[in-house]
Amino acid sequence: MTPSPNAPTLALACELIARPSVTPEDAGCLDLIASRLAPLGFVLERIDTGGVCNLWARRGKARPVLCFAGHTDVVPTGPLEAWQSPPFEPTVRDGMLYGRGAADMKSSLAAFVTAIETFVAAHPDHQGSIALLLTSDEEGAATHGTVKVVEALAARGERLDWCVVGEPTSVVTLGDMIKNGRRGSLSGTLRVKGIQGHVAYPHLARNPVHQLAPALAELAAIGWDQGDEFFPPTTWQVSNIHAGTGATNIIPGHCEVQFNFRFAPTSSAESLKTRTHEVLDRHGLEYELVWQLSGKPFITGRGRLVNAISQAIRATTGVDTELSTTGGTSDGRFIADICAEVVECGPVNATIHKVNECIAVDALEALSSIYRRTLENLLLAPAG
């Protein structure tokens, strides 16, 4: 697509979509973005690790620091024949931009860049600093991406004041919802030991399914907490359960269950672990339980950042945005370790990870305007 001076965000989004950056590949996206930031006075630092590409870019040395964060990697395309146009050939059709990553989240990356370009051109001597934290490892394992950049920044004492993550948070129209927090995610793999035997001689065996069933029923019935203003109550769900050999005449020797907590800050990972073990122990199970904490909960209350973005959305779209903590995890869970206020704000998420992923063309420049107005609300001195 030929770049248009009237649609710079669309043009850049198309350039990014054309790069097949299936996780954890970057396919040159960070180099493209860096080439736009360097002339603006950004100091560029690659923090690549474990085959993952990471970029930390900062303009200015003073506080406060407003950071835009996101990822260049996309999920696999799925069956190519199901796409109406090739997923890595950005195509505008009926007012929509189609391509893998159009909504999640190359349009947000393009809007970050054009918003910053416009802001810096108008306000070269703005207060504080502008930063970008970008990775190619968000859609995959997320072990060598944002978390590693955050660790590097923390080790040298760099902190952020505000962070805007470009995740697609809108539901029906641009700006109708932003995420001011996310629930934590704690998973467990439970293996209950029994004694294998013939179903006709149960007195010579010990059925782990029978032993486990009452404990599962109790865990499923527990009210773990009541949630709070921003979060629903913590939930516990079984995702997988397996026992037996497939034969109908064998009592299984073990039963394995995988489960997950999605939890609010009103509960801690340690308290959930403790209460789970208490139930299992009370039922007299012989078991092994391996835990994995993939995300801590975080929350940003109503304050400078939420107000700045809400005002920017209203000024651009006329929409009064809704605060939400729904959905899965995001890289905001890592950034919250070095930043007091983290908010996610991006395009409509109806087609993310789907075949024929797309975004409304008219949302692209509007999203850039939201980010630019957020910069103005936070980094320009008050009048007078």
> Distance (Å, rounded) from C-alpha 375 to C-alpha 9?
17
Q: Which of 307, 359, 293 is nearest to 180 (CA)?
A: 307
Whether 89 is catalytic is no
CA dihedral for 345, 347, 350, 354, sign (positive or negative): negative
CA distances from 300 to 269, 284, 339 (A): 19, 42, 10
Whether 138 is catalytic is yes
The single residue of 26, 138, 139, 344 carrying the catalytic annotation is 138
The single residue of 15, 25, 26, 73 carrying the catalytic annotation is 73
H helix or E strand, kind and range, residue 152: helix 146-155
219 near 287, Cβ under 8 Å? no
Q: What's the DSSP call for residue 103?
A: I
DSSP β-ladder status, 177-179 and 322-324:
parallel
Q: What is the dihedral of CA 114, 117, 121, 122, to 10 degrees?
A: 50
Q: Could you please report the per-residue DSSP string of 108-144? A: HHHHHHHHHHHHHHH-TT-SSEEEEEEES-SSS--SS
Residue 82 has, within 13 A of its CA and on its CB side, a CA count of 8
The number of beta carbons lying within 10 Å of the beta carbon of residue 247 is: 8
Q: Which of 193, 59, 174, 62 is nearest to 113 (CA)?
A: 59
Residue 259 phi, psi dihedral angles, 5° rounding: -140, 170
What are the start-end ranges of the E strands in 264-368? 287-295, 298-299, 322-324, 339-344, 358-360
Enzyme catalytic residues = 73, 138
